[in-house]
Amino acid sequence: MEFLSHSFNAEHAPEIVFFDLETNVPKKGGERFWVLEFGAIVVSPHKLTEVESYSTLIKPKDLSVVSVRSSRSHGITRAAVEKAPSFEDVADKIFSILDGRVWAGHNIQRFDCVRIKEAFDDINRPAPNPIGIIDSLGVLTEKFGRRAGNMKMATLASYFGLGQQKHRSLDDVRMNLEVLKHCATVLFLESSLPSTLHRQNSNWNGYPGSTIMTRSRSNGKSPSREDTSRKSPPSSLIGYQRTVPYTRGSLGKMAESVRGLVSKAQGQPTINQILKHSHSLLR
C-alpha cells in the first residue's frame, strides 16, 4: 500500500459515499437495533460535489420496536414505516451504492458499519465492503479538536451556523459533508497563518475546563433518550476502541496523518484531500 503522492490521479480516485442510518432505540438490555432509514450521497473526492443520492424508509420485521410517536419533530414513526419496503427489498440498491467505495460518516465505524453488516446477515446475504473508511468523528476529534464543544454532529453544525440536525438520514449526511468542509476551511486558514490564527484558538485544546455550552446544557434540559442511545460519541473520544465488523487488514494500512483513525486502501483519498481542496469551498 502506498500513500498518496504527486503522481496520484484524481480522475481515477474512488468515489466517497457518505451514509447514515436511522434506527430504533432499544429500551432494555438484549433488544436489538433495526434499520428504519438509510440515506447516502456519493461525492467526487477531488471536488466534493454530489453525484448521486439515495434514501429510503425501511420497515422492520417487528413494527412494535418503532414508537407510535417520536420525540423529535422530524422523527420516524410507526405509521411512517408501516408501508415502507423491507430491508430485503432495498438490499440490492444499498449494496450497489456502498460496495467498493470509500465509506464516510459520523461515528460510522462504531455504529453504522455494524448495523449494515447485521442487516445483511439477517437476510443471509454478503454485506458490502468498503475500500476505506473515513469516520468524521475520529478525524475531527484528532484534527479539529473539541473547540466546538462535544463531537456530536448537532453541536458541530450549531457551531458553524448550519442549522438544526434533523436526524433523518439524507439530511444528516449532507450536513456531515458541510461540517467537514467548514472544519477543513478553518484548518486550511490556520495552516496559512499558524502563528496568528492557530494561537488564538489554542485555548480550546483544554476543552474539559472550557465554558462552551451545548444547547441541552444551556437550557437546563437533559438530552432525550433518542439523542443519547444510538450514535452519541463515547465518553472518551481520543483513543477509544471501535468495534468494526470488517478486519483491519481488509482496509489497508492506517494513514499516519490521522494516527490510525482513518483506514485507507490503495490510492484511496483521505481527509488530507479535503484539506487540500478546502480553499475552493470558501463562500
Q: Is the pLDDT of residue 108 over 90?
A: yes
Average pLDDT in the chain = 76
pLDDT at 135 over 50: yes
Q: Check residue 196 and give its pLDDT.
A: 82
Residue 57, SS3 per DSSP: strand
| Whether pLDDT at 102 is above 90 | yes
Q: Per the confidence metrics, is the pTM higher than 0.95?
A: no
Distance CA 146, CA 124 (A): 41
Q: Which of 159-163, 205-209, 268-272 has the highest mean pLDDT?
A: 159-163
Residue 223 pLDDT more than 80? no
Selection from 143, 139, 255 nearest residue 205 by Cα: 143
Alpha carbon distance, N-terminus to C-terminus of the chain: 36
- The predicted structure's pLDDT at residue 146: 87
Place of cell 456519493: 42
The DSSP line for 126-168 is PPP--SEEEEHHHHHHHHT-STTSS--HHHHHHHTT-------
> Which of 37, 20, 29 lies closest to 175, judged by CA?
20
- Averaged pLDDT, 154-168: 93
Looking at the predicted structure, is the pLDDT value of residue 48 above 50? yes
Higher-confidence residue of 281 and 41: namely 41
> Which percentage of the chain shows pLDDT scores above 70?
64
Q: How far apart are CA 281 and CA 283, in angstroms?
A: 6
Model pLDDT, residue 225: 53
In this predicted model, what pLDDT tens digit does every residue of 176-201 receive, in sequence order? 999 999 999 999 999 998 888 765 55
Catalytic residues: 167
Q: Which H or E run contains 218?
A: helix 215-218
